[in-house]
A and B are shown apart, each in its own frame.
Chain A
């Protein structure tokens, strides 16, 4: 018995031509790729929009109107990402045989370098794309099995994914055009000639047409069965949705009072709200707050995880509260929470939200006193803001500018 040589092992590794190509090939890859490119494009743009809504860049002053904007953009982000899961899997399946293509011979150095670069860029594209979908899916279900900051990393890798995708489109453009121009029924394996428009040939080979239909159906079904947390009329249909839209006072929650370490501070009989502006300050008890003129508005809570739900909020307009310390309605206000654990214990409300009369320090939700998990005794609610910036258990408001 002799030890196997490199050539023996190589001979056992399949070659691209060993794979069944009857359903793969350019017509399949280009069509699934086009759908995937659209889904990734929407996902990238809505994702970047979400980062803008968080960071409020000076060059893009996002305002309170329309109140439903973040609800829609973030819902679309999660929906396009979910739709992309079946698409990316079928896309990768369709090109998997290329993984086994043998590198060009050593004598052609230029071809070898190009091949290495091409493989590297595709490796980056595949790794970053799968990472985006996996990390996003895990994040919306509240599972974080990693040691990096989700928000920062999901944003940075999004640039890597979209960059390598655009590069990939540039490299493959002639092939993509050929693939989209070619008939979906074009196949080397189709030799029976009884083209009756059926979805497979007499030997029982499934056509590309059936495969593409299945891929589209899978993509649509994945959305339908999860999107109910965003799209109200799908609530009963979305049996795999992370949220069913239920919760205390008919509204789901992201972080519980216990999880945020906010119970003691929020339920203390000595609770007070302090409002500050420069040298001036005023301290209000809960009874003082309840005695102020209240207004009611219907506004959605829309979270980065893609769920959203409208509710009826009653409380004191923030502009009225800061007027008590002589501040202009057009002021930036810092909100601090009694919470002792976790991120987003404070938020900064840009002036365009502060001056909007719908921006409330809410005391009541859907006709009842706020439950502890919704931010009792009082919380911020403003139109068109990401959910985590709607600070709960507020005990300090400071006018910044």
Chain B
């Protein structure tokens, strides 16, 4: 065999691994000077991120998928999936401005829009688009 390899692993992969571990360790090392309070707060955020995703958001999505598979008629399935992906991921991307908790600094030049109302309109628009697409597909 002419390809160079180390224990079956290509040099490219070994280099990526080494660079990756290097970056990772640099990040950890640059955190070590921080105080306990800051590190505890960061640890809560890191663990919280995994818990919120793996134990809440993902099971919720799986549950909704199962319900949808049972009750949504075939012509409406594709529009429902597309609408849900767009609606759910975008809503999470906008969560800070939707929370009502952000930017309480007495600064009137931020968060000046009616976000909750806009989000309701956004939700209705996506639902309407999915409904129209479903009807069109059912008639075809």
Residues of A participating in the B interface, judged by any CB pair closer than 8 Å: 19-20, 23, 82, 85-86, 89-90, 92-93, 96, 99, 123-124, 126-128, 130-131, 134-135, 137-138, 140-143, 145-149, 152-153, 155-171, 173, 199-200, 203-207, 210-211, 213-215, 217-219, 221-222, 225-226, 239-244, 246-248, 252-256, 258-259
Instruction: Beyond A173-B10, A205-B77, A219-B89, list 7 extra A-B contacts (CB 8 Å).
Output: A126-B50, A142-B110, A171-B17, A173-B13, A218-B85, A226-B94, A243-B112
Contact in complex: B21, A206 (CB < 8 Å):
no
Contact in complex: A200, B78 (CB < 8 Å):
yes
Is residue B70 within 8 Å, beta carbon to beta carbon, of the partner chain? no
Beta-carbon contacts of B23-48 to A below 8 Å, as 1s and 0s? 11111101100100111111001110
Contacts of B132 in A (CB 8 A): none
A170 interface neighbour in B17, B38, B47, Cβ under 8 Å = B17
Contact in complex: A168, B20 (CB < 8 Å):
yes
Contact in complex: B20, A199 (CB < 8 Å):
no
Residues of B participating in the A interface, judged by any CB pair closer than 8 Å: 10, 12-17, 19-28, 30-31, 34, 37-42, 45-47, 49-50, 52-54, 57-58, 61-62, 65, 69, 73-78, 81-82, 85-86, 88-90, 92-99, 101-113, 115, 118-119, 122
Contact in complex: A239, B113 (CB < 8 Å):
yes
**Interface SS majority for chain B:** helix
Contacts of B111 in A (CB 8 A): 141-142, 242-243
Contact in complex: B42, A157 (CB < 8 Å):
yes
Given contacts A128-B46, A214-B86, contact A204 B20 (CB under 8 A): no
Given contacts A143-B101, A226-B93, contact A163 B110 (CB under 8 A): no
Contact in complex: B58, A163 (CB < 8 Å):
no
Cβ contacts A to B, 23 pairs, < 8 Å: A20-B65, A90-B85, A127-B50, A130-B53, A131-B42, A143-B99, A153-B38, A157-B27, A160-B24, A160-B28, A163-B20, A170-B16, A200-B77, A207-B78, A214-B85, A218-B89, A218-B90, A240-B94, A240-B119, A242-B97, A242-B111, A252-B110, A253-B107
Given contacts A93-B61, A142-B111, A259-B106, contact A240 B97 (CB under 8 A): yes
Contact in complex: A206, B110 (CB < 8 Å):
no
Contacts of B58 in A (CB 8 A): 92-93, 96
Contact in complex: A241, B102 (CB < 8 Å):
no
Given contacts A160-B28, A221-B90, contact A244 B46 (CB under 8 A): no
Contacts of B75 in A (CB 8 A): 204
Contacts of A128 in B (CB 8 A): 27, 46
Contact in complex: B54, A99 (CB < 8 Å):
yes
Given contacts A160-B28, A239-B118, contact A127 B47 (CB under 8 A): yes
B21 interface neighbour in A23, A143, A163, A169, Cβ under 8 Å = A163
Contacts of B24 in A (CB 8 A): 124, 159-160, 163-164, 167
Contacts of B98 in A (CB 8 A): 240
In the assembled complex, the CB of B101 is this many whole angstroms from the nearest CB of chain A, namely 6
Contact in complex: A141, B88 (CB < 8 Å):
no
Bound: A8/B30 CA distance, A: 45
B115 interface neighbour in A166, A207, A210, A240, Cβ under 8 Å = A240
In the assembled complex, the CB of B5 is this many whole angstroms from the nearest CB of chain A, namely 12
In the assembled complex, the CB of A241 is this many whole angstroms from the nearest CB of chain B, namely 7
Contact in complex: B53, A137 (CB < 8 Å):
no
Given contacts A160-B24, A241-B113, contact A141 B13 (CB under 8 A): no
Given contacts A142-B105, A160-B27, contact A244 B89 (CB under 8 A): no
Contacts of A93 in B (CB 8 A): 58, 61
Contact in complex: A244, B113 (CB < 8 Å):
yes
Contacts of B14 in A (CB 8 A): 170
Contact in complex: A247, B109 (CB < 8 Å):
yes
Q: Which residue of A lies closest to B39 (CB)?
A: A148
Contacts of B69 in A (CB 8 A): 20
Contact in complex: A255, B107 (CB < 8 Å):
yes
Contact in complex: A142, B88 (CB < 8 Å):
no
In the assembled complex, the CB of A118 is this many whole angstroms from the nearest CB of chain B, namely 12
Contact in complex: B106, A256 (CB < 8 Å):
yes
Contact in complex: B37, A147 (CB < 8 Å):
yes
Contact in complex: A210, B82 (CB < 8 Å):
yes
Contact in complex: A167, B16 (CB < 8 Å):
yes
Contacts of B38 in A (CB 8 A): 147-149, 153
